[in-house]
């Protein structure tokens, strides 16, 4: 195996972060242990949930060099790859903003319940972005599906009303939602790779630039950018791109060294992980560790955890070849968007019909609440595998 081949531990760690994301999102935090959830904005510290999202961003960055270098090796032109990057970015932004607004639906003004509006939106997402078989042979059928999904989107957007006076009750971009943030991070990482290619040093300089932006933003020294913050605030804030590009450095290291040289890779990852954590605690002198505030100390510590965790998974899976334990995780990693969105369809169906499926959430026992959410997350991984078998899988 060479560094050009697919690194299985990347898929497995991506799947692991997704399962943890589904797990913490499902938890009833009124009963579950406090350390499993998100810490409040002004709390100096972090729980398990505060690592999950940056852990996924780290993996997004790791994947970029492998994905884009493959396109370059096939002879794709720079302009075509740029179009692909922009298409994925726009798709993530659109889905992220739609998801962000599901909780703002005013049923009386919209004429649809929150659950029905969201359900129709998610169904349209799966119809529009599904990875259909034989697209060239079924071009007209697939075009019809996409037009139908587009019609649903238009209907939902024009029917949407929140009842809020400050924005005329329309859709807002807000903080872009989870997928929107991933989209901005992917945009920064992908175009950085286009400029720097496989240069670790050039990528490190770009990473340092976004870290600097994150620090300056945290010190309130970028307030003069306030007019553009609603549009490119994720980039000027620096935190999300900084985490993605740190993951990209990890990916470049994996590309540089073949698996036979794992004795070089693992120590590098361990050293980088420890240095990131130490740097995070040094930055803590000026910035609290806060996910909500996207502080550089939090980002640096999360990067350190990601380096260390990946080194462990890489050693177990790719070096030792022990991957049977991750059978249920791998489909979630290979089809991450499907894994992330499919459970929301079930949630809204359950809430609409009042089916007694999520009864574990009503328990006063932390063991039952946590155990139920673990089973839910694993079941959603199984759902992804089932959907893929029947050719329902999202691809941007």
DSSP 197-244: TT-HHHHHHHHHHHHHHHHHHHTT--GGGGGGHHHHHHHHH-HHHHHH
C-alpha span between 100 and 92 (Å, rounded): 12
Helix axes 229-237, 177-196, angle to 10 degrees: 60
**Positions of the chain with pLDDT lower than 50, given as ranges:** 1-4
DSSP designation for 45: S
Q: Please return the burial class of 60, using the count of CB atoms within 10 Å of its CB with bins 0-12, 13-18 and 19+.
A: buried
User: Would you state the pLDDT for residue 136?
Assistant: 83
Contact call for residues 152 and 124 (beta carbons, < 8 A):
yes
User: Would you state the pLDDT for residue 5?
Assistant: 52
Residues in the chain: 396
User: Would you state the pLDDT for residue 6?
Assistant: 65
How is residue 304 written in tokens? 């350190």
User: Would you state the pLDDT for residue 314?
Assistant: 96
Contact call for residues 54 and 304 (beta carbons, < 8 A):
no
Handedness of CA 24, 30, 35, 38 (dihedral sign): positive
User: Would you state the pLDDT for residue 2?
Assistant: 38
Residue with the two structure tokens 């690194």? 7
C-alpha span between 247 and 239 (Å, rounded): 13
Q: Please return the burial class of 174, using the count of CB atoms within 10 Å of its CB with bins 0-12, 13-18 and 19+.
A: middle
């Amino acid at each position: 195996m060479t560094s050009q081949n697919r690194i299985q531990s990347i898929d497995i760690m991506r799947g692991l972060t997704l399962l943890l994301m589904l797990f913490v999102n499902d938890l009833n935090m009124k009963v579950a242990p406090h350390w499993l959830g998100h810490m409040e904005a002004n709390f100096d510290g972090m729980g398990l949930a505060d690592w999950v999202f940056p852990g996924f961003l780290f993996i997004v960055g790791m994947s970029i060099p492998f994905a884009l270098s493959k396109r370059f090796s096939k002879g794709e032109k720079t302009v075509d790859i740029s179009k692909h990057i922009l298409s994925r970015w726009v798709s993530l932004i659109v889905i992220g903003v739609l998801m962000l607004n599901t909780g703002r639906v005013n049923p009386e003004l919209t004429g649809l319940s929150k659950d029905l509006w969201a359900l129709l939106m998610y169904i349209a997402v799966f119809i529009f972005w599904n990875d259909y078989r034989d697209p060239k042979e079924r071009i007209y059928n697939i075009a019809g599906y996409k037009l139908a999904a587009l019609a649903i989107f238009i209907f939902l957007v024009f029917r949407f009303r929140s009842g809020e006076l400050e924005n005329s009750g329309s859709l807002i971009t807000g903080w872009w939602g989870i997928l929107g943030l991933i989209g901005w991070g992917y945009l920064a990482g992908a175009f950085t790779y286009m400029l720097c290619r496989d240069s670790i040093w050039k990528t490190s300089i770009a990473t340092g630039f976004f870290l600097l932006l994150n620090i300056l933003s945290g010190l309130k020294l970028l307030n003069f950018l306030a007019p553009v913050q609603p549009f490119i605030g994720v980039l000027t804030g620096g935190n999300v791109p900084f985490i993605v590009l740190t993951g990209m450095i990890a990916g470049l290291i994996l590309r540089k060294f073949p698996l036979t040289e794992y004795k070089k890779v693992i120590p590098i990852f361990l050293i980088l992980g420890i240095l990131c954590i130490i740097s995070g605690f040094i930055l803590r002198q000026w910035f609290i560790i806060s996910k909500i505030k996207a502080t550089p100390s939090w980002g640096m510590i999360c990067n350190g955890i990601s380096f260390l965790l990946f080194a462990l998974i890489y050693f177990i899976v790719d070096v030792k070849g022990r991957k049977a334990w991750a059978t249920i995780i791998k489909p979630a990693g290979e089809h991450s968007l499907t894994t992330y969105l499919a459970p929301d369809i079930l949630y809204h169906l359950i809430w609409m019909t009042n089916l007694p499926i999520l009864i574990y959430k009503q328990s006063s026992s932390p063991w039952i609440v946590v155990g139920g959410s673990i089973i839910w997350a694993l079941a959603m991984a199984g759902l992804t595998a089932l959907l893929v078998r029947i050719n329902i899988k999202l691809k941007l």
